Structure 1
Amino acid sequence: MPRKEILKETRRLTEPFVVTNGKGFRLKDFDPRETRGLIEKGEAAQLLERGVRWLAEEQDMLYAQDRWSVLLVFQAMDAAGKDSTIKHVMSGINPQGCYVSSFKVPSKEELEHDFLWRYVKRLPERGCIGIFNRSYYEEVLVVRVHQDILAHQMLPPELVSERIWDERLTEIANFEDYLTRQGTVVLKFFLHVSKEEQKKRFLERLDQPDKNWKFSPSDIHERQYWDDYMAAFEEAIRATASKRAPWFVVPADNKWFTRLVVAAAIVETLERLDLHYPRVDAQKKVGLATARTALLQEKKQGAPSARTRKA
């Protein structure tokens, strides 16, 4: 299939889920069960395989060109499939140019700095893809839902006002705008899983011994705050969605579809960058020709004989 036709397919997959303007955004307008008419997992697997190959090609040029960097942000409720999506979509990527950062509870050193500090340290360098498995958005999600966490962030009391969440969202939006103007492509994925599907996956973790390790009692505790989290996600997307740093609200009840949409979004974005391998100028070509001649002459001369080596 021609490349242009493939791009049309990817746009058909991603267009309904991309948010570039948060005005009027409502999470309830997005169905976690959506599959865009795809019902065959086999078909989806073939499309994903094609996307993974294409992504590998784009990443190779991204690394060689050494001009752009890419930041992929993944946010979701527990059991939405962040880890498996990253694993499958990035399966063809050269590890040399890609790394994943998972952010847990901040350390004492991290609490001594501003809330963006520890994330800035893990930003991808030029030519590389950086993946944030959870991110600075936790500061307006879990911290907003559990506001007692603010007490441990050592902020001066007079700065912890009712406007702190609006302020942080504005700072995040400005931060992402800054990154895009420095050559970092920012794509944000909210894996939108339903509460019913999350329950099903939690039960699988409890019932299947090989999945027991994935379960934590805190998972059940956090389900009590489901509506609070949905409100926080909605507000975060509404305040930070932009053309430069779009959100993708990806249906996550069917993991095979989730992976397909994420792969399509990344490929489509990299394709728009018009990546290419560094072009060789005339002077460089002369050097390459000289090197080729030297290698061919070396082959004609052959390896030294055993007698010569002993001497």
Structure 2
Amino acid sequence: MQNLNADNYRVKQSVALSTVDTYDDLGASEKQLKKQLKKIRKDLGEFQDTMYAHAKYGVLVCLQGMDTAGKDSLIREVFKDFNVRGVVVHSFKVPSTLERKHDYLWRHYIALPERGKFSVFNRTHYENVLVTKVHPEYILGENLPRVESVADINEDFWAKRYQQINEFEEHVAQNGIIIFKFFLHLSKEEQRNRLLRRIELKQKNWKFSPGDLEERQLWGKYQACYEEALAKTSKDHAPWFVIPADNKEAARVIVASIMLEALKKYKDIEEPELDDEIKANLEIFKQELEKESK
């Protein structure tokens, strides 16, 4: 298996997605990839246990991608060995009535991880500069001041949204949230194949929606919006990584490896030491417990 370099996937400047590979096998078979993922996710789970005891950092994992990009299965496989108390998944759908009564970042802010835990955003606050940019009429549902029609949603409006998102992420990063942002980069042909499987396989029928085909017709617009969002919001404290998603097994290994490599650099995350008085009396406590069995 090839050595994996996170910098090969990190967004550092403007990116033309049409020139970026959507397939990678890391020079390994499916069996080898699954074996590698098993090892990495075990290490991630152990790291989270330590992070939970340390209780000073949280981890936010943001997943974006076109329909069928593999977000759900990636979450299932990468976080399989986590203690269930240590990871919370949030799948953001169309905003509720309550959520619309707040600013667009509110529902994401309250879903941030507690110290010691991972939060996974399956679709994220970036929907507010992606789907709403493709469908600007959705913005009208936010009932914003000075936005009375689509004509009021101009480039200055979007520039402010990017600024707000960058400031939001900078703020939470400064307060102990480690941020990972992954764009699962799927080819249009592979999406076609996956949509066909949803139709052909009865057990996957429930995943299919005619709306998927309507959004597919807007592929080019979505790719342009992703390119702009990636370029404007990939920062040192909140980097974007473009992950080839046509091969699900490799995508999972890449995501898990990037996270583990970055988290290992936090040398200050370690299990806390016992109080000196407790530590000095451990032998006494042990003897008390041993007497109970006699």
Aligned match of 2:286: 292
Would the aligned equivalents of 1:13 and 1:261 in 2 still touch at CA under 8 Å? no
- Asked if residue 43 in structure 1 is aligned to residue 32 in structure 2, the reply is yes
Q: TM-score, normalised by structure 2?
A: 0.94
Would the aligned equivalents of 2:136 and 2:153 in 1 still touch at CA under 8 Å? no
Would the aligned equivalents of 2:113 and 2:119 in 1 still touch at CA under 8 Å? yes
In structure 1, give the amino acid aligned to 2:282. L
Larger Rg: 1
Would the aligned equivalents of 1:71 and 1:187 in 2 still touch at CA under 8 Å? yes
- The count of residues paired between Structure 1 and Structure 2 equals 289
Deviation digits for residues 227-274 of structure 1 (CA, Å, limit 9, x no counterpart): 110011111110110111111100000111111101101111221112
Q: Give the 3-state SS of the residue equivalent to 2:283 in structure 1.
A: helix
Structure 1 segments, 4+ long, off by >6 Å, are none
Identity of aligned residues (%): 39
Q: TM-score, normalised by structure 1?
A: 0.89
**Deviation of the 1:204 alpha carbon:** 0.7
Unaligned runs of 5+ in 1: 1-5, 303-311
Aligned match of 2:45: 56
Aligned match of 1:123: 112
Aligned match of 1:18: 10
Q: Give the 3-state SS of the residue equivalent to 1:71 in structure 2.
A: strand
Which of 201, 212, 226 aligns to 1:219? It is 212
Aligned match of 1:258: 251
Would the aligned equivalents of 2:14 and 2:230 in 1 still touch at CA under 8 Å? no
Q: Give the 3-state SS of the residue equivalent to 1:277 in structure 2.
A: coil
Change (3 A) 1:35 1:16: farther
Q: Give the 3-state SS of the residue equivalent to 1:18 in structure 2.
A: coil
Aligned match of 2:225: 232
**Deviation of the 1:131 alpha carbon:** 0.4
Change (3 A) 1:161 1:216: closer
Would the aligned equivalents of 1:51 and 1:267 in 2 still touch at CA under 8 Å? yes
**Deviation of the 1:24 alpha carbon:** 2.9
Deviation digits for residues 287-306 of structure 1 (CA, Å, limit 9, x no counterpart): 4333223212333xx3xxxx
- Asked if residue 133 in structure 1 is aligned to residue 127 in structure 2, the reply is no
Aligned match of 1:29: 19
Whole-angstrom distance in 2 between the partners of 1:186 and 1:198: 27
For the aligned residues, what is the CA RMSD?
Answer: 1.7
